[in-house]
Chains A and B, each alone.
Chain A
Amino acid sequence: MTKALTRRDFLRTSAAMAGSLAIPLTPVTRAQTPEEMALSVTSPSAFDLADIGQRALEAASAAGAAYSDVRITTGLFLTWEGGPRSVCSVNPNDRAAEVGQCLLYRVARFGVRAFVDGHLGFAGNNLSTNLDQVADLANVAVGRARALAAAGSTGAELAPAPVVESGFYETPVRRDPFAVPLGEHEDYYLEAMQSMRDFPTESLMFVFLDTEWSRNDELFMSSEGSLTRQRVSLGNHFALMRARVAYNTFSSINMPTKGIYGSGGWELMDGLGSKLLGMCERAESLTTGLGTKPAEPGAYDVVFAPSSTAMLIAQTIGQPLEADRVLRRAAASKGYLTSYVNSANEELGQFRLGSENLNIRADRTRPGLGATVGFDSDGVETGEYSLVEKGIVTDYVTDRSFAPEFAEGYAPMERDALSNGCSSDTGGRRPRVKVPNLALLPGTEDLSQDDLVAQVERGYFVESMFINPDHASRNVQATGNFVREIRDGELGDLVLNTAMPFSTTRFWGNLEAVGGPSSVGENYPEVDDRDWEIMSHITVTTPPILVNNVFVVNASRRQQLSRGGRPGETGNPQGGNQPRGGRD
Chain B
Amino acid sequence: MADGTMNFQAAPTREEAEQLADRVMGWAKADEVMVEISATSISQAEFARNELSYLEGETEILLDLGVSVGGKRMRLATHDLTEAHLAQLVEEAQDLASSRNIVGEGDMIPAPAPVEMPEGMYFDSTAQAAAPEAHGKAVLDVVEMSRNSDFVTAGTLIRETGSNLVRSTSGYGGFSRYSYAEFSMSARTRTDGTGAGWAWAGNEDAARVDVNDVASRAMDLAARTEDAVAVEPGRYTVILEPEATAQILREIMMRFTSFIQAEAAETAGNVFSRPGGGTRVGEQMTDPRVQVLYDPYDPLMPFSPIDRNTMMERTHWLRDGMLETMAYTPAYAREHDLPITPNPRRLRMDFDDVELTREEMIGNTRRGILVTRFSSLGLVDSETLLLSGVTRDGTFLIENGRISRPIRNMRFLESPFYLLNKIESAGASVRSQRDLVTPRLLVNDFEFTALSDAI
- Residue numbers of A with Cβ under 8 A of B are 37-42, 81-82, 87, 89, 94, 96, 99, 101-109, 111, 119-130, 133, 136-137, 140, 143-148, 150-151, 153-154, 181-183, 186-187, 190, 204, 206, 208, 242, 244, 248, 250, 252, 324, 327-333, 335-336, 338, 428-430, 466-475, 477, 479, 497, 499, 501, 503, 553, 555-558, 560-571, 573, 575, 578-584
Contacts and interface: CB of A to CB of B under 8 A. Distances in A.
A582 B413 CA distance: 13
Given A104-B76, A129-B5, A333 B156 contact: yes
Contacts of B47: 331
B329 A120 contact: no
Interface in B155-178: 155-156, 158
A216 B73 CA distance: 25
Closest 5 A/B residue pairs (Cβ):
A468-B378, A147-B136, A332-B156, A122-B56, A472-B454
B135 A147 contact: yes
A389 to B, nearest CB: 24
B386 A555 contact: yes
B281 interface: no
Given A182-B100, A474-B452, A39 B48 contact: no
B417 A561 contact: yes
A106 B52 contact: no
A109 B9 contact: no
A434 B89 CA distance: 34
Contacts of B92: 38-41
19 contacts: A37-B99, A82-B329, A104-B77, A108-B79, A120-B53, A120-B54, A125-B60, A126-B8, A130-B7, A182-B74, A250-B273, A324-B48, A328-B152, A331-B156, A429-B58, A472-B453, A560-B384, A561-B271, A584-B450
Contact of B57 (A122, A331, A472, A569): A122
B267 A148 contact: no
A467 to B, nearest CB: 7
Nearest to A335: B376
Contacts of A119: 52, 54-55
B380 A477 contact: yes
Contacts of A474: 452-454
Contacts, number: 351
A183 B74 CA distance: 12
Contacts of A563: 283-285
Interface in B304-325: none
A560 B418 contact: yes
Given A151-B52, A181-B99, A144 B74 contact: no
Contact of A497 (B140, B381, B445): B381
B380 A140 contact: no
Contacts of A42: 88
A96 B266 CA distance: 12
A40 B53 contact: no
Given A103-B77, A332-B184, A567-B423, A470 B143 contact: no
Interface string B411-424: 10101011001111
A114 B132 CA distance: 14
A561 B390 contact: no
B288 A127 contact: no
A270 to B, nearest CB: 21
Contacts of A477: 378, 380, 388, 411
Nearest to A248: B276
B287 A121 contact: no
Interface string B77-94: 111110001001101100
Contacts of B44: 333
A579 B233 CA distance: 10
A103 B454 CA distance: 42
Contacts of B376: 335, 468-471
Nearest to B158: A332
A42 B80 CA distance: 11
A109 B8 CA distance: 12
Given A327-B49, A472-B453, A578 B99 contact: no
Contacts of B409: 470
B378 A126 contact: no
Contact of A130 (B3, B77, B140): B3
A186 B375 contact: no
B379 interface: yes
B55 to A, nearest CB: 4
B450 A501 contact: yes
Contacts of B143: 151, 153
B191 interface: no
A104 B89 CA distance: 11
Given A128-B9, A130-B6, A329 B154 contact: yes
Contact of B75 (A37, A103, A499): A103
A50 B8 CA distance: 20
Contact of A151 (B49, B136, B285, B451): B136
A430 B42 CA distance: 12
A471 B78 CA distance: 37
Given A108-B79, A430-B56, A584-B450, A125 B388 contact: no
A252 to B, nearest CB: 7
A132 B171 CA distance: 37
Contacts of B205: none
